[in-house]
């Protein structure tokens, strides 16, 4: 069955809009797990606009669950200019210190509002290969954020990735127009190519209660959902929203 990992970035974003510790990111993670979520995802950016460095350590220490840390592996250290907010040590140093179960590598930058494309392995593959080996030496499973391109899957496997995460915005936009079959077919082709290369397949970005049941990817291992989950939780409550997403994944 597909694992449901809840991304807590938007919970942290609400907290950071005030000089407060409310909402408590760790407590929300605990509530998600108690309601039946299978794991927790965070995506700390160097500007720490939502998830902060100390959140990663706190979640790792407090929750007995699979923690997935996403980020740009090329992101360097950055000093914090806010009182009470730790310096960002660089993505690799952060992952080495926290040791999450999974590190998902994403080619994003501060100028992006959110992640909006996958890796170009023709350009970045040689740089990523030693990074992936370092992450594996930390005990992490490594996933690469990728566009639905079947031709790139063999190279993703060749540079050492364990999984890919399908960037699903194109599917979500097509689903909104009720004309998604041809787009979905490319995701299926990519998933099959990944699996043929020995890679596991995750997915994330703009998946929601409406489009998730139609995302018929074979042997999909994990979805990470944050923005839509947080919005739905405002309407249905957190525990009911976890249950709704698990049902959307086909679980009883």
What amino acid positions are annotated as catalytic residues? 43, 70, 205
Report H helices in the chain. 9-16, 25-34, 53-62, 91-98, 121-137, 153-158, 169-176, 181-196, 227-236, 238-248
Question: Measured in Å, how far apart are the chain's first and last C-alpha atoms?
Answer: 11
d(C-alpha 132, C-alpha 126), whole Å: 10
With tokens 């994003």, the residue in question is: 108
d(C-alpha 49, C-alpha 28), whole Å: 18
How many C-beta atoms surround the C-beta of residue 115 within 10 A?
22
C-alpha pair distances (Å), 87 with each of 78, 80, 84, 114, 141: 6, 5, 10, 21, 25
Cis peptide before 23 (omega within 30 of 0): yes
- What size, in residues, is the chain? 252
């Amino acid at each position: 069955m597909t694992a449901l990992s809840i991304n807590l970035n938007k919970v942290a974003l609400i907290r950071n809009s005030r000089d407060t510790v409310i909402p408590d990111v760790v407590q929300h993670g605990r509530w998600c797990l108690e309601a039946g979520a299978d794991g927790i995802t965070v995506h700390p950016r160097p500007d720490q606009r939502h998830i902060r460095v100390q959140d990663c350590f706190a979640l790792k220490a407090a929750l007995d669950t699979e923690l997935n840390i996403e980020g740009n592996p090329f992101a360097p250290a950055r000093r914090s200019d806010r009182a009470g907010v730790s310096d960002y040590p660089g993505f690799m140093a952060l992952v080495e210190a926290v040791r999450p179960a999974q590190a998902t590598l994403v080619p994003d930058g501060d100028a992006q509002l959110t992640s909006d494309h996958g890796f170009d392995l023709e350009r970045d593959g040689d740089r990523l290969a030693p990074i992936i080996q370092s992450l594996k030496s930390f005990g992490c499973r490594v996933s690469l954020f990728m566009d639905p391109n079947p031709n790139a899957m063999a190279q993703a496997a060749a540079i050492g990735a364990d999984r890919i995460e399908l960037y699903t915005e194109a599917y979500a936009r097509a689903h909104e127009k009720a004309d998604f079959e041809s787009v979905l077919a490319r995701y299926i082709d990519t998933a099959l190519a990944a699996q043929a290369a020995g890679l596991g397949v995750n997915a994330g970005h703009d998946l929601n209660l409406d489009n998730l049941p139609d995302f018929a990817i074979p042997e999909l291992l994990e979805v990470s959902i944050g923005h839509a989950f947080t919005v739905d939780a405002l309407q249905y409550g957190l525990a009911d929203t976890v249950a709704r997403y698990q049902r959307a994944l086909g679980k009883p």
